[in-house]
Amino acid sequence: MNTPKNICKIAALFFICLLSLTNSFAQTETQQRQTEPSYEVILNVLTASNNTNDKLPVPKTLSNVLKKLQNTYSLSNYRLDSTYLGRIGNPGGFEYKSIINQNQESLVPTFSEWSLNILKNPPNVQGKESIECQGFRFGQRVPVKTANGVNYEQIGLNMQRFSLPEGVPTIVGSLTTAKPDELMFLILTVKSSD
């Protein structure tokens, strides 16, 4: 009648092995989640015009973008209006909202918001690292003076599914401003964070 004791020992040994394997798989899954990369996202907003008062130095990191814009547009002066910084996981997303005052003479604020969604990092056709975004949105609510006061109008840019090279400032769009012969350019840079 040793058989029931042997069956219990074998069942206990099987149960311990099963628990050990389950714990091992759980640790592997936790380690994989901890090693997901994260990225630094920089959105630069440049404004270009022919107004000689608008000439301000543009950071050297944007020199290739500036050359491309100068070759494409007949605008002579560029200024960096703002730089936004964020951090995002792979895949991930974030949304940013703030108050800015583009017009220094006016006390009426402009509201700015932008978002970037579902960031992925697959290699591109040439085998280089690229960043794939499922959605990017940039918008501003700008004050417009009317006979009854100030109304806010929404301006912006929405993009669905695009890619850009990792670590390279890339022009993702342009918008007109309230001033004639003036354009706003959105430059996005996504790079691995250390």
The pairing of strands 38-49 and 77-89 is antiparallel
**Do residues 93 and 116 make contact, with C-beta atoms less than 8 angstroms apart?**
yes
Helices (H) and strands (E) in the chain, counts: 2, 8
pLDDT for the residue numbered 17: 64
Give residue limits of the domains in the chain.
1-35, 38-192
**Do residues 142 and 108 make contact, with C-beta atoms less than 8 angstroms apart?**
no
| Rg over CA atoms, the chain | 26
Q: What residues of the chain score a pLDDT lower than 50?
A: none
pLDDT in tens, 95-149: 989 887 655 556 778 888 999 987 777 666 666 678 888 899 999 888 888 898 8
State if pTM tops 0.85.
no
- Amino acid type, 8: C
pLDDT for the residue numbered 33: 53
